[in-house]
Structure 1
Amino acid sequence: MASASSSTSIPLPPPPRSCTYHVFLSFRGEDTRTGFTGHLYAALNRKGITTYKDDQNLRKGHVISKELLKAIEESMFAVIVFSPDYASSSWCLDELQKIMECNNKVGQQIVPVFYDVEPCDVRHQIGTFHEAFKKHEQRHNREKIKRWRDALTQVATHSGWTSKNQ
Structure 2
Amino acid sequence: MAAFSTDEGDSFSSSTHRGDYDVFLSFRGEDTRHGFTGYLYQALCDKGFKTFIDNKDLQKGEEISAELIKAIKSSMISIIIFSQNYAFSTWCLEELTKFLECKKNGQTVLPVYYKVDPSEVHKQEGSFGLALTTHEKKFENNIEKVLRRRVALYEPASLSGWHYEDGFPEYQFIQGIIRVVC
Scaled by the length of structure 1, what TM-score is found? 0.83
Query: Moved runs in structure 1, 4+ residues, more than 3 A?
Result: none
Partner of 1:54, secondary structure, is coil
Superposition pairs of residues 84-163 of structure 1, within 5 angstroms: 84-104=84-104, 106-140=105-139, 141-163=142-164
Distance apart, 1:18 and its partner CA: 3.9
Amino acid at match of 1:164: E
| Whole-angstrom CA distance in 1 between matches of 2:96 and 2:83 | 13
Q: Provide structure 2 residue ranges, at least 5 long, that are not aligned to the other structure.
A: 1-15, 169-182
Equivalent-residue separation in structure 1 for 2:121 and 2:80 (angstroms)? 12
What displacement does 1:43 show?
Answer: 0.3
Q: 1:156, 1:149 → 2: CA distance?
A: 12
Q: Distance in 2 between matches of 1:18 and 1:29?
A: 28
Structure number with larger C-alpha Rg? 1
**Aligned equivalents of 1:148 and 1:80: distance in 2?**
14
The alignment's TM-score, normalised by the length of structure 2, stands at 0.76
- SS where residue 159 of structure 2 aligns? coil
What is the identity, as a one-letter code, of the residue corresponding to 1:78? S
Change (3 A) 1:64 1:102: closer
CA-atom RMSD in angstroms: 1.9
Gaps of 5+ in 1: 1-15
Identity of aligned residues (%): 50
